[in-house]
Amino acid sequence: MLELKHISFSVTDEAGNQEKEILKDINLTINKDSFVVITGPNGGGKSTLAKIIMGIEKPSQGAILFQGQDITHLDIHERANLGMGFAFQQPVRFKGLTVKDLLHLASHKQKNDQELAQYLNEVGLNASNYINREINASLSGGELKRIEIAMLMAGGAELSLFDEPEAGIDLWSFHNLIKVFEKIRDMKRGSVVIISHQERILNIADEIVVISNGEILTKGTRDEILPRLLSESDTYQFYKARGQQ
């Protein structure tokens, strides 16, 4: 499905003299229909890795393969056309467009209102109340995030990436978001990659990848990794080993 091969990423200082290595030789495979959570301390490289998977940043070294095709130098739009979907920390509000308009745009082909309504129902939104709503300030952050997930479903994304989906939403919205992710996981609608440090999201993962100081410290099933992350002594040892104290 998605393969990251020896991915490294460096940036230079303002004077253009000194390079700082943000990601260091990342090797990672995301399998078909898997639900993967990437976690780790702040500043460890998680968001940079998300940008590289999206195509917002290009790696300094290494290659990215999606369904066997080298996409290393493709931009975000080209990756989307291949079946990769992206949800950002702050969903975009499009003045003048309705929820129905966005779902039509995401689906790449004309679908009837009943089909579009089904996507909204699947993310826990009553379609009759939302399908003709304008995308504006009247929608909460949690509602926008669920609409964004419905758009990914409508587009038939083979792989969906969520960068800290819990950011900026209240506890009730977060609770509903977890339910949506559980449903996506159970229905096996493509692969899902979530960048997060929230325990409740980690707890529904098939696999967990821990990144610190630009490197993969460990990866494995939820049952293998989560108990160690929740153990203060093990977490300390994880990060101390890479200079994160």
Residue 224 identity (one-letter amino acid): E
Res 184: pLDDT: 79
Give the residue from 28, 23, 21, 24 showing the smallest Cα distance to 5: 28
pLDDT at residue 242, rounded to an integer: 46
Q: At what angle do helices 171-187 and 141-154 cross, to 10 degrees?
A: 20
* Distance between CA atoms of residues 39 and 68, nearest Å: 26
pLDDT in tens, 84-121: 988 765 556 666 788 888 788 777 666 787 888 888 88
Q: What residues in the chain have per-residue pLDDT under 50?
A: 241-245
State which amino acid sits at residue 117: A
Q: How many CA atoms lie within 13 A of 2 on its CB side?
A: 27
Q: Is the dihedral of CA 101, 104, 85, 200 positive or negative?
A: positive
With a CB cutoff of 8 Å and minimum separation 6, the contacts of 241 are 217
- Report the run of H or E that residue 202 belongs to, with start and end: helix 199-202
Sign of the Cα torsion 164, 169, 170, 174 reads negative
Taking only the tens place, the pLDDT of each residue in 131-160 is 888 887 778 777 887 888 788 777 778 898
Residue 90: predicted pLDDT: 55
Please give the pLDDT value at position 7: 96
Contact criterion met (CB below 8 Å) for 13 and 213: no
CA–CA gap between residue 177 and residue 66 (Å, rounded): 27
CATH number, domain 2-90+158-240, options 3.30.365.10, 3.40.50.300, 3.40.640.10, 3.30.70.260: 3.40.50.300
pLDDT recorded at residue 73: 93
Report the distance separating Cα 213 and Cα 43, nearest Å.
7
Task: Return the number of other C-beta atoms located less than 10 Å from residue 187's C-beta.
Answer: 11
Laid out side by side, the sheet with 35-39 consists of: 84-87, 159-163, 191-195, 35-39, 207-212, 215-221
Q: How many other C-beta atoms lie within 10 A of the C-beta of residue 211?
A: 24
Q: Return the pLDDT at 245.
A: 37
Contact 55, 71 (CB under 8 A): yes
**At 218, is the secondary structure helix, strand, or coil?**
strand
Q: Do residues 181 and 216 touch, judged by C-beta distance below 8 A? A: no
Domain ranges of the chain: 2-90+158-240
